[in-house]
Amino acid sequence: MLGKLVKYDLKASGKLFLLIHIIYLLTCLMVRFFYVNQLDFEAPAVPLFTSIVIASALMLFIITAVCICTWLQITFRFYRNLFGKEGYLTWTLPASSTEHLWAKLLSGYLLSAANTVIIAIGILILVTGENVTAFYAQFAPTFTAELGVPLTTYALWLFLYSLAGGICSVIWIYFCITAGQLFPGHRVLCAIAVYFIFGFVIQALSFLILFLSGYFPGYNHMASQGITAAAYLTGTLLISTVLIVIITVLQYAAMHYIMKRQINLL
């Protein structure tokens, strides 16, 4: 049953997801061949870096748009299929609430992970030109010294972290929508309110923990104490990981309870 639920979830989102990501990859290829490959790093610095800043901002905008589209797809599928009109069919399928929840978690995570992988491939397409790598090689030792590891290793860790973090983001979104269902009316609005209220509380909690552990007000302050960027990044990453894992477990437990005991389709 779980496999069938996941299959139909992916089928429902697959076409649009593929279309968006194919367009993204084609854009990356075009930018690589028609812009990045033409860059001459020996050219005058001001026009060169102005054009790089503009191109980077444009690519950042496209990457953000692709990520937002993916998240909207995951969010809408969860909401519509479980708590919209389609819920009348979904909840009357011979499947348990746990199976429904896991199906949505798996399909949502698969889309999120696929999005992360494709975004990473796009970035690789953009930055692996011979002229870019040769230019970067001049600064590589400085980056390695600051980060403690080569930039490629650091990027790989960041990628794996994003990949793993996808599950937390999926649970976060699902939790907000599910918690919104506890309200008697305006449930979408309530889900958005839950998202922002929880976001604010967690931000405040993160600041408090970073402050108590001495990582606040930031790297500049710590650099003066002789702490490297690598140590700073590793420390903050560790603290946020522990915090995120605890929050995710609590959100999953709450969501599981609501879906098992408090389903009220209006």
**Interface residues with other proteins (CB under 8 A)?**
1, 4, 8, 12, 80-81, 85-89, 91-96, 184, 261-265
Main-chain phi, psi angles of 98, to 5 degrees: -65, -40
The amino acid at 145: A
Closest distance to other proteins from the beta carbon of 5 (Å): 9
| Residue where the block lists tokens 């477990």 | 249
CB nearer to other proteins: give 64 or 96: 96
Closest distance to other proteins from the beta carbon of 185 (Å): 9
Rounded Cα gap, residues 181 and 176, in angstroms: 9
| Residue where the block lists tokens 């990520």 | 67
CB nearer to other proteins: give 7 or 221: 7
Closest distance to other proteins from the beta carbon of 79 (Å): 13
Closest distance to other proteins from the beta carbon of 12 (Å): 7
* Neighbouring residues of 161: CB distance < 8 A, sequence distance ≥ 6: 237, 241
Whether the link from the prior residue into 184 is cis, omega within 30° of 0, is no
CB nearer to other proteins: give 156 or 265: 265
CB nearer to other proteins: give 86 or 146: 86
CB nearer to other proteins: give 6 or 28: 6
Main-chain phi, psi angles of 122, to 5 degrees: -60, -45
User: The dihedral of CA 203, 206, 110, 160: what is its sign?
Assistant: positive
* Neighbouring residues of 46: CB distance < 8 A, sequence distance ≥ 6: none
Closest distance to other proteins from the beta carbon of 81 (Å): 8
- Tell me the chain's radius of gyration from C-alpha atoms: 22
CB nearer to other proteins: give 95 or 163: 95
Tokens standing for residue 99: 């199976």
Closest distance to other proteins from the beta carbon of 87 (Å): 7
Closest distance to other proteins from the beta carbon of 94 (Å): 4
CA-to-CA dists, residue 141 to 130, 150, 256, angstroms:
18, 8, 49
CB nearer to other proteins: give 188 or 263: 263
CB 95, CB 1: distance < 8 Å: yes
